[in-house]
Chains A and B, each alone.
Chain A
Amino acid sequence: MRAKKSSTNEHLLTKKGGFRIMGIGKQEAIKYFFGGNAIIAIIVIFLICLFLVKEAFFFFPDYRKNLSLYRLSGQEFADYPMAQIVAQKRLASLATEARSYEIKYRQGVEGDIPSLNSAIRNMLRNKVNSEITELKRAEEQVEEIDFYPNLEESEKQARHQRVATAQEQLKKAAEEASLTINYNDLSDKTLETSPKYLDDLRQAAVTRLVTGEKSAFIERIEKSLAEKSIEISKDQNLLDLAEANTLLREPQRDFDQFVSKLRKITISTKQQAQQYQSSSARRLALESGAALASSDEDKERLAIEAKRILTIQPDYTKLNQPLYNSLDKHAELQAQLEASTRAALEKIPSADGFESGAAKKRLKEIASIKSGIYDLFAENRAKMEVWDHTKAYPMSQAVTGFFFGTEWITNSSWQDFYGILPLFTGSLGAAIIAVVLAVPFAVGGAIYVNRLASPVEQNIVKPVIEFIQAIPSIVLAFFGVVVLGQFLFDIGQNPALSWIPGFPIEGRLTMLNAGILLAFMATPTIFTLAEDALNNVPKSYKEASLALGATNLQTVLKVILPSCLSGIIAAVLLGFGRIVGETMVVLLVMGGRIKIPTAFTDPAHSMTGILAQEIGEVVQGSLHWGALFMVGLVLFIVSLSLNFTAQTILRRYSDR
């Protein structure tokens, strides 16, 4: 063995130099090969930029063209009154919801019982399905007796007997099965009901199933509910609310008709414009197809078809004339709408007289948007008056429309809008929740493990946290969907928490849910980096502090922590970057509602989520495709700058 080894070494020593190609020796070739691989990182960064920019490059010009058509066809004009009526309808629906929540709340537990009753009955029916079928068959056989007059008596009795047995069995099975039903099995978890009714409900379901009659319990509840609702409806607040509601709904029909007429006109203008665009392209394609056609017959046919296509631009001035003419009618309708809204808003009572949290939340929302609605009316009216379809759509407006647009609407039959704001705020909201939750745990944990824990503890905790880092995000997303969502929702229903803005939580998939999971993902990252930063503090700091008589904890909190603060900030920034770029959790857990969230318990959508959700279904090179790559570019720039800032902080810190 030893001999062989030494011979290898000799062999290595003797063989030097070797081949040369184009003046490059073996050693240099190896060096260049390795160097070439090292450049890949640079190339990839460059290529990522290139591809994102390449696909997104034509987005703004295309978007501008698209929006120009939106203006030219008058759709922009029709959207102003549309926005007015939508805002007003929002008020109306809030008022309606507030009223029904309040009524339901005042009815109390008993209000839930009718729906619970039918849910439990359906479950029971499913559980004893085979017994029910058996009973039905037995009964059918009994009915058949009349058709067979010469049936033997014993057979008749046997058939009756079968019905009796089946009934007996059904009753037994139903009673047994009813005991296995719990509230937790019910799919509609919004029902909060005290357990004391459970036995009554089970009994009611069994009675209904076996005898087909309502049980006394249900009848009593229904009667008391009816009495209660008469009493509730006498409440002045609710009466006011109902009256306001009627006032709000009164002018809606006329206005709706007006708006839908405008929309019809503009959509037909748009169709003509689109037809003009597509027919130009089609004509070109047919002409080139005719040139390439193999037979004379095909050539002639294609040429005729090409000539049949009209390529005359629609006359927009003529087509948009009805819109300009409609201004007077709109003024009249708007005055009506405004007057009745004013009257209604005066009627709407303040939130103090209400008991239900959900109702209060809605009334507060009405109060907050109520002052803005008249401004919106006036503003949109002013816009309509100065609107001019010939005015060119500026590039800057397309750009701001993307970066500050509040609507992301795709595949619409009306008009697509690509505004990144709802996605951006969703991403940012979830990330902020996550960082706020993760930083105390991660930094606290790092301080504890690095400075206070015993070596044994250190050797256990550190690897375990590294281990946690490897949990795939899709697993956490799954956990959020099936476990955490329900858990948070149940907690969120607790009336004791209703003082927190955003509570009670109204869904399982929310920004809070996603934020908690993201915090869990970011914690190991922040922990590891913060621990590194703590480790890098020179020993002399600690020794000096201790020598001055500070205790261990004082040293940690007042000397060491401040001295590595920049390292910790960098750690947090890197963690933040990881959260912002995370996809699966926000895609599955955040609820996917494309709207700017107003509270941290709202559902929302995110930049990463929209990419994952939509890019698979988009035509390559279309406007939507460009918009998605634009979102990707924004995401890339945000994460790069976060990363870059963190690295800069770290470098400055380590230089010092």
Chain B
Amino acid sequence: MSSLPDKKDAIATSLNPFKQGKSRLRTIERIQRSVLLIATYSILISALVVFGTIIKNGAPVLWDKGFSFLTEKPQTLTVLDVAATEGLEISADGFERIVGDNKKLPVENSEEFEKSYPHTRFDLQPGTIIGDGYLQLIENNNHDFRVGFLSRSRDAQVGFNLSADSEFRVTSEQLEEIKKVDPEIVAGELTPVSEETNYFRVRVEKGDYEINKATYDALNPTTLIYIMLQSFNDDERNQIRSTKIPNSQVVTLSQAQYAACLAEEGGLPFSKVEPQVSVQDFLQFSMPAGQYELASKVLDILKLANPNASFVSLHNTERGAVELDLKEAVTLSLPTAAFEQVVRDNPDFKISNVSNYEVKKPFVRFDLSKDAQILAPNEVQLELKGENAGSGALNILDEHSHSYSGGGILGPIIGTALLVIICMTVALITGIASAIYLNEYARKGRFLKTVRLAMLNLAGVPSIVFGLFGLGLFVLIAPQITDTPSSSNNVVLRVPLAKIASEPNLRDIENNSIFMAESHHKTSDVVAAASANGKARFYNGWTYLSFQGWGTCMLAGGFTLAIMVLPVIITACEESLQAVPMGFREASLALGASKWQSIRTAVLPYAFPGILTASVLGITRVAGETAPIMFTAAVAERSLLPWEGLQSHGFGAFLEFLQQSVQAMPYHIYTVAGRIPQSQYTEPMQYGSVLVFLMLVMSLAGVSVYLRIRIRNKIKW
């Protein structure tokens, strides 16, 4: 029908009510036509320009980095200017990565060899007491090993060096305490000493005064009630501030405090002073210089007894030691040197079955013939520095680093995949169900009209508003069943469910800052007490349904995306359901099938291709979105993949897995393109990730467009 036969055309022209000269008409038509043609094709050409630029700049990057771009996590890139040198050592993997990233590196005389590390294997027995730092060391070397605490004691032995002979003066109670823990150190002679302490009872009259910082510091620990508009900063030694004493008071001051208040300018005048003396008996003993191993409690007493004695700490167990919650022996291993240190410093380190073995690693030793520049991701450069720290072969002339410019994009790709999976699970279930309802069950009426209106409007809501909504609902308010609810003031509601909570391990109590309370207290009191003590969570034996939100995590992000994509899925699914001819349903119903049976057997199978298209379309939309996940799920920096470093087991681990924030492709691009300082080193990462991302999304889009065309053409009833 697009053009009429010539003869008719001729007649039409002669009868033309808009009659114009034929040739002029043709010219105008041709011009108009070509204008429209240009408009159409310029859309396509501009798309081509966008794709072309990105492919042109991105393809060389992918070619250079190869497959490793997809299998490495994003890292900080360090640029090292290294002097020509001989005998650099690094593991074979590290060497491969350095050579792979630096094609022009002047490597010479590379030789492979095996480096062996002595390790010790041992069985850790229940009842072990160990310092925090040492436990950390063991856990770093044994990735699957994580253990709770039974108890923590400040009684850990602390090794220290007393640099000179010192005298200590203690009260008899303190002496008892020392003797109880460490009887040996007071074996020498004890001299009784009595000491007089002067103190003053003074009266301060009501009124306004000008005081300096020394006076202020002296008065602060006393019971004097004064009012100051502005307190002193540390550096305001000579400043004078006005202070107000609201009523006349009597306070007790020590000699030093009293002296501080006597200053000519900035002191505090007293109306009445009563000097008083108290006598206290002490016992004095001496300790010769040398090395000691003492309980930390004793050390505290000694430090108080003689502030001038100089203790040099030998090893750092400041937080004391913990008793490990071990039910049975665990086989662990450590590098031998570290093992020996742990055994030496922890007397209650209970082990059996100690055996030595060697771990062998392929290494490469190589020379650099000229000064060179090495680009290396963070872990590689750390390895290079670590392995050559002793030999002095690595001479670094200059070093600068660029965040997110090294490594690959493994983390973001996985994060995006997980977000898409969560989102599509939620969106497809609700989307298909509501499409079935709307198309098969609902009668025309007000309800249907409202649903359709809501859906049309939902489709027009900006994605950033969905982000705000997700932040408000999923991140901050969504309910969570937990034994240790948050004590933040922002939590709307906490519903105690049942008294079945299991008591958290001491280690979790410390790490997660949990406030422990009795179960008979009211929730509001516990919350107030927890926040007054600066604790983030509390435990009182009850399991709560706490509306504290899920936090920034992939679950929140997935749900936000699901809600955003819902209108797209519902509309597409409905379309495919509508395409199934009415006759199918009627025939099925006529055969006596129930409504659900006929939907299940006569409608859904034929609508399946359409539903598949809808889901691919949904994935395309979701994978490319940045705004909704910006503050619901995405983080810029994350060194672990989502399944690494989980601390719970079983179902708890699954929940913990879902409650992590993730890196995501679009957010990663936003970070490298807009949030970090740009340099020539960030550019490859930008183009590389954009190209991979574009390829992913566009292939999905291609599939959905293809499927749609196929359905339109093929399925005709």
A interface list, Cβ under 8 A from B: 9, 12-13, 16, 26-27, 30-31, 33-42, 44-45, 47-48, 51-52, 54-55, 130, 133, 272, 275, 285, 288-289, 292, 300, 304, 307-310, 440-442, 444-445, 447-449, 452-453, 459, 461, 463-479, 481-483, 520, 523-524, 527, 542, 546, 548-554, 557, 574, 577-578, 580-584, 587-588, 608, 611-612, 615-616, 620-621, 629, 632, 635-636, 639-640, 642-644, 647
Contact = CB atoms under 8 A, between A and B. Distances in A.
Nearest to A583: B627
Nearest to B599: A30
27 contacts: A27-B595, A34-B441, A35-B441, A38-B433, A44-B469, A52-B465, A275-B230, A288-B528, A308-B225, A440-B39, A445-B39, A445-B43, A463-B706, A468-B47, A472-B625, A472-B694, A474-B666, A474-B669, A475-B50, A582-B463, A583-B626, A615-B471, A621-B490, A636-B461, A639-B462, A642-B460, A643-B460
Nearest to A557: B32
B469 A616 contact: no
Given A31-B441, A289-B532, A472-B624, A588 B674 contact: yes
A515 to B, nearest CB: 14
Interface string B21-47: 000010001001101110110111011
Contacts of A616: 630-631
A475 B434 contact: no
B605 to A, nearest CB: 13
B69 interface: no
Interface of B: 1-4, 11-18, 25, 29, 32-33, 35-37, 39-40, 42-44, 46-47, 50, 53-54, 223, 225-230, 244, 246, 370-371, 429-431, 433-434, 436-438, 440-442, 450-451, 453-469, 471-473, 476, 490, 525, 528-529, 532, 563, 566-567, 570, 591-597, 601, 620-621, 623-627, 630-631, 666, 669-670, 673-674, 686, 690, 693-694, 697-698, 700-702, 704-706, 708-709
Contacts of A288: 528, 532
B458 A45 contact: yes
Given A34-B433, A44-B454, A520-B46, 14 more contacts: A33-B433, A37-B429, A51-B469, A52-B468, A55-B472, A308-B225, A441-B42, A441-B43, A470-B621, A477-B670, A549-B15, A583-B463, A584-B626, A612-B464
Given A308-B226, A470-B620, A549-B17, A580 B462 contact: yes
B36 A445 contact: yes
B532 A444 contact: no
* B contact patch SS: helix
Nearest to A483: B53
B39 A444 contact: yes
Given A41-B458, A310-B228, A12 B12 contact: no
B367 to A, nearest CB: 17
Contacts of B624: 470-475
A41 B490 contact: no
Contact of A37 (B433, B467, B593, B686): B433
A12 B469 CA distance: 44
Contacts of B631: 615-616
Given A470-B698, A621-B490, A478 B225 contact: no
Contact of B442 (A9, A38, A40, A442): A38
A51 B437 contact: no
Contact of B674 (A461, A475, A587): A587
A647 B456 contact: yes
Given A13-B591, A640-B457, A472 B693 contact: yes
Contacts of B246: 307
A551 B462 contact: no
A444 B471 contact: no
B460 A472 contact: no
A482 B673 contact: yes
A605 to B, nearest CB: 14
Given A38-B434, A467-B702, A620-B490, A447 B36 contact: yes
Contacts of B490: 620-621
B227 A308 contact: yes
Contacts of A621: 490
Contacts of B630: 612, 616
A133 B83 CA distance: 11
Contacts of A9: 591
Contacts of B436: 34
Contact of A448 (B36, B457, B621, B670): B36
Contact of A292 (B461, B532, B620): B532
Q: Which of A38, A468, A584 has the most B CB atoms < 10 Å from its CB?
A: A38
Q: Which of B433, B627, B694 has the most A CB atoms < 10 Å from its CB?
A: B627
A445 B37 CA distance: 7
A472 B673 contact: no
B36 A482 contact: no
B700 to A, nearest CB: 8
A478 B18 contact: no
A632 B468 contact: yes
